[in-house]
Amino acid sequence: MGCPAISYERFMPVYRESVALRSDEFYMHRALDQAREGLAAGEVPVGAVVVDADGEIVGRGFNAPVSGHDPSAHAEVRALRDAGARLGNYRLDGCTLYVTLEPCLMCTGAIIHARLARVVYGAAEPRSGMVESKANLFAQPWYNHRVEVEGGVLASRATRLLQAFFAERRGD
């Protein structure tokens, strides 16, 4: 007389509902976790996660151009590569990228080609930000894909992490 078999199927709607209720701040905290991993590796602390339409994190990345000897190893690109490999497709339709720093020219191009639905970033990048600070590449009429943008999510935390990194490098 063993235990009766339990079907976990009936719990899936509750699980899916709780995942759907996660906020932009929740996922930005996961991106900040990635940025801290980059910091621990001696890289500029920028982190990113890709979240699918069901609220699951399907890609992760932190900056690693120095350690990887790869100028394209920005957090966003690494997270997009991870998500593409996991999902088996370079098109990440319906996905959202959470990144701690406003994306650069290269990363905005990769985001457009990946067909992301949305980008949420933390700190603005006044020198090379191509989402809103220097330009808005997503709004250009020659692209056949539009990306929704939300900036400033947990910006002060992302900014403090970057400022601490550069202050330490300068010896402040």
Q: Which two tokens stand for residue 120?
A: 């949420």
CA distances from 152 to 3, 87, 100, 104, 155 (A): 51, 28, 9, 16, 5
Identify whether 76 is a catalytic site residue. yes
- CA atoms of 60 and 49, how far apart (whole Å): 4
| Active-site pick, 17, 25, 56, 76 | 76
Which tokens hold the place of 128?
A: 């090379």
Catalytic residue ranges: 76
